[in-house]
Amino acid sequence: MINKKIEQAFNKQINAETYSAYLYWSMSAALEKMNLSGFANWMRVQAQEEMVHASIFYKHIIERDGTVKLTAIDAPPVKWDSVKAVFEAALKHERLVTGLINDLVDLALQEKDHAANMLLQWFVNEQIEEEKNAADILGQLAIAGDTAGGLYLLDKEKATRVFTPPAAGQEA
């Protein structure tokens, strides 16, 4: 049976992960408006990943005989001034999520919930990757500068990203 404090915290994390998907869908739409369909694709894939993350927390609660309590999702922003501003916001958001995951790890350790801690270790590593991806794109945008050709090439590259769900059991 799931620890009640962990259950409550994981339900909050389902909401946070779903909000992340909303945010990335909103960023994708903003990038489409900027005629950057490759970057928009990258964000749509990111939104899919976030929904998988929410599903992992959902599944953990269910498997440990807990109760999933879905709550309203806040509306994300809808406008950014540039592709750089989008990825700055994405990096800032991923750093926020890293803090949320770290807080969950602290709670799992405090509550001696070893199953939750095991699950959360996958998320700790995932957040390293999430922050690095956003930071890498910001670095690429800095190299491209204000050149149309550089932005065009980056947009084409980001169009090639495809969603790959984690392998069964990989997330645990």
For 119-140, what is the mean pLDDT? 97
Asked if the model's pLDDT at residue 169 lies above 80, the reply is: no
Cβ contact 33:97 at 8 Å: no
SS3 state at 5: helix
Write down the domain spans for the chain. 4-72+79-158
Separation CA 63–CA 92 (nearest Å): 32
For 34-48, what is the mean pLDDT? 98
Q: How confident is the model at residue 167 (pLDDT cuts 50, 70, 90)?
A: confident
Instruction: Give tens-digit pLDDT for 62-117.
Output: 999 999 999 999 999 999 999 999 999 999 999 999 999 999 999 999 999 999 99
Q: How confident is the model at residue 147 (pLDDT cuts 50, 70, 90)?
A: very high
Dihedral of the CA atoms 11, 14, 19, 20 (nearest 10)? 140
11: CB partners within 8 A, 6+ apart = 57, 61, 68, 69, 70, 71
Mean pLDDT for all residues in the chain: 96
- For domain 4-72+79-158, give the CATH number: 1.20.1260.10
